[in-house]
Structure 1
Amino acid sequence: MANASRQVVWEFFGTELKRRRENAGLTQVELGGRVFVSGGYIGQFEQAIRKPQLDVAQRIDDVLQTDGIFERLCRKLIDDPRYADYFAHVVELERLATRICEFAPTVVPGLLQTKAYARAVTVAANPFRTDAYVDEIVAARLERSLILDDAARPEYWVALHENVLRIPVGGPQAMAAQLDRVAGLVRERSVVVTVLPSAAGAHAAMTGMLQLMDFEDAPPVAYTETSFSGTLVDDPAVVKRAQRAYDLLRVATLSPEASLALIDSAAEDFRRCASTT
C-alpha cells in the first residue's frame, strides 16, 4: 500500500473513530480511560497524527461496540509484507519522532544501512528466499532512511557497539562503504554516533537492540528487538527504565570525535583487506 493511500485510510480511521465516539456520548478522556490510553492519545488517533497499536484498536471496538471495524482497519494498515508484524508500528512512529536514540549491539541500524549492507543482512536472515523478496525488503529499509534527508528530520543519536565495526557484513568492500556512509552522515551533522568499546565490558542494554523515540505532542516510546521478535513499549515506567539504561550506556561510549576516528580506522582496515583479496 503506497504511503499516500495509507495516510488516507488512517485519516478515515480517525474520522470514523471520532464519529463513533461522539455517537456513544464519550469524551476523548472517557474513551481513553476505558481503553487504557490517555485522552490526548485518542485525540491524536482521531487526527491521524499517531497510529494505535492493534490491541488498542481491539479495545476501542469492544468499548464502542463497532463489530471489529477498527481492528480490521488497523490490520490492513500494518499488514505490510516488507516488515515483520511487530515492526510495522515502529516504522510509522519513526516518521513522527522528533528525536530517535538507538543502541545497536551487532549490526548497523537500518536507518544508516547502505544497499549492499542491507542486502547482506537480509540474505543472511533469509537464506531460502527469492531475490525478489530480498529486493523488496532492502527497498523498504532504504525507504525508511529517507527521513534523514528530510528538512524536518529527527535528531538521531546512535550508540554502536565496537562489534558492529568489526564484523565484515557483505565482505570487506561492502563494509568499508558502509562505515564510510556512517562517517559521512556524522560529518554532515545528520546523526551523532558514538562507539561503545569492547573493553567497556558489561553495560545496561546487553540483551539486544534498543530504540527510544520522542514526539512533539505525545509521550515517548521504547522499542527493543532480538533476532526473532520485537516489543514496542509505551508504559511510562518501563520507558523511563529504558531511557536510564540508554543514558548509562552512552556515558560509557567514546567521545563523538574518538568514535569517528575509530569508524574511519575500521573502514580503512576493510579497504586494505579488500585490496589484497
Structure 2
Amino acid sequence: MANDSRLAAWEFFGSELKRRRENAGMTQVELGSRVFVSGGYIGQFEQAIRKPQLDVAQRIDEVLQTDGFFERTWRQLINDKRYADYFAAVVELERLATKICEFAPTVVPGLLQTAAYAQAVTLAANPFVTDGYVEEKVTARLERADILKDATRPEYWAILHENVLRTPVGGLEAMAEQLEHIAQLMRERTVWVTVLPYAAGAHASMGGSLKLMEFEDAPPVAYTETEYSGTLIDDPAMVKRTQRTYDLLRGTALSPSASLALIESAAEDYRRCASTT
C-alpha cells in the first residue's frame, strides 16, 4: 500500500472514530478516560496524526460497542506484508517516535542499513526467494530510514556491538560502504552511535537486540527481538527494566569519538582489503 493510500486509510479510521464517538454522546476526554489515554490522544487518532496501539483499539470497540470494527480496521492497516507480522506495529511506532534507542548485537539496525547491506541480510535468511521478493524487502527497509531525513526526525541513539563492525556482511565493498554511511550520519549529527567493544566482555543484554521508543504524549514502549520473533512491551515496569538494561550498555560502550574512530578504521580496513583482492 502506497504511503498516501495508507494515510487516507488512517484518516478514515479517525473519521469513523469521531463519528461513532459523537453518536455515543461522548467527548474526547470522556472516551479517553475510559480507554486509558488522554483526550488529546483521542483527538490525534481522529486527525490521523497518531495511530492507536492494538489494545487501545480493542478498548474503543468495547466502550463504543462497535462489534470489533476498530480492531479489524487496525489489523488491516497494520498488516504490511513487507514486514514480519511481529514487526509491522513497530514500524508504525517508529514513525511516531520522538526518540529511538537501539542496541544491535550482530547486525546493523534497519534504520542505518544501506541497500547492499540490506540485500545481503535478506538473502542470508532467504536464499531461495525471487529477486522481486528481495527488492521488496530492501525497499521497505530503506523507506523506514526516511524518518531520519525529516526535519522533525526523532533523536536516534544506537549502540553497536563490535560484532556488527567485524562481520563482513555482503562482502568487503558492501561493508566498507555500510560503515562509511554510519560514520557520515554521525559526523552530520543525524544519529548518535557508540560501539560496545569486545573488551567489554559480558554485557547487560546477552539475549538479542532491543529498541526503546519515546513519544510526545504517550508512554514509552520497548521492543525486544530474537531470531524469528519479537515482543512489543508497553507494561511500565518492563519498559523501565529495559531502559535500565540500555543504560548499562551505554555506560559500557566507548565514547562517541572513540566509536567514530573505530568505525572509520574498520571501514578503511574493508576498503583497503577490497582494493587488493
Bucket of the pairwise TM-score, normalised by the shorter protein:
over 0.9
Matches of residues 46-125 of structure 1 in structure 2 within 5 Å? 46-125=46-125
Deviation of 1:96 after TM superposition, in Å, equals 1.9
Give 1:118 deviation, angstroms.
0.2
- Encode CA deviations 1:78-102: one digit per residue, 9 max, x unaligned: 1211111222222222222221111
Q: Is the 8 A contact 1:102 1:158 kept in 2?
A: yes
Tell me, in whole angstroms, the C-alpha distance in 2 between the residues paired with 1:208 and 1:192: 20
1:203 counterpart residue number: 203
| Matching residue of 1:141 | 141
> 5+ unaligned residues in a row in structure 1: which ranges?
none
SS in 1 for 2:87: helix
Matches within 5 A, 1:189-268: 189-268=189-268
SS, match of residue 108 in structure 1: coil
CA distance in 2, matches of 1:203, 1:32: 41
Give the letter aligned to residue 15 of structure 2.
T
Q: Paired residue for 1:42? A: 42
Greater shift after overlay, 58-67 or 111-120? 58-67
The amino acid across from 1:248 in the alignment is: L
Letter in 2 for 1:154: P
1: distance between equivalents of 2:179 and 2:58?
A: 43
Cα distance in 2 between the residues matched to 1:109 and 1:96: 18
Q: Tell whether the 8 Å contact from 1:114 to 1:178 is kept in structure 2 after alignment.
A: yes
Alpha carbons 2:212, 2:220 under 8 Å: kept: yes
Counterparts of 2:128 and 2:239, CA distance in 1: 37
Equivalent-residue separation in structure 2 for 1:202 and 1:32 (angstroms): 44
Deviation of the 1:15 alpha carbon: 2.0
Deviation at 1:205, TM superposition (A): 2.0
What corresponds to 2:161 in structure 1? 161
Q: Per-residue deviation at 1:115?
A: 0.4
More off after superposition, 91-100 vs 127-136? 91-100
Q: Which sits farther off after the overlay, 35-44 or 4-13?
A: 35-44
Aligned-residue RMSD, C-alpha: 1.8
Partner Cα separation in structure 2 for residue 125 and residue 40 of structure 1: 42
Q: 35-44 or 65-74, which moves further after superposition?
A: 35-44
Q: Residues of 2 paired with 1:165 and 1:113: CA distance? A: 13
Query: Are 2:110 and 2:141, in contact at CA under 8 Å, matched by a contact in 1?
Result: yes
> Which stretch shifts more, 134-143 or 38-47?
38-47
- The answer as to whether partners of 2:41 and 2:217 remain within 8 angstroms in 1 is no
Structure 2, gaps ≥5 residues long: none
Range 252-261 or range 146-155, more displaced: 146-155
Instruction: Note if contact 1:78-1:85 (Cα within 8 Å) is conserved in structure 2.
Output: no
Provide the TM-score with structure 1 as the length reference: 0.93
In structure 1, give the amino acid aligned to 2:6: R
CA contact (8 A) 1:51 1:89 kept: no
Offset at residue 63 of structure 1 (A): 3.0
Which AA in structure 2 matches 1:238? M
| Matching residue of 2:181 | 181
Determine helix, strand or coil for the equivalent of 1:222.
strand
Aligned amino acid, residue 9 of structure 1: A
SS of residue matched to 1:85: coil
Q: What residue number does 1:272 align with?
A: 272
Figure out how many residues of one structure are paired with residues of the other and give that number. Answer: 277
**SS at 1:7's partner residue?**
helix
Counterparts of 2:139 and 2:118, CA distance in 1: 9
Cα distance per residue 1:145-203 (max 9 Å; x no partner): 11111122111111100100001100111111100111111111111110001121222
Distance 1:64 1:10, change over 3 A: same
Structure 2 length-normalised TM: 0.93
**Which amino acid is the alignment partner of residue 116 of structure 2?**
A
SS, match of residue 158 in structure 2: strand
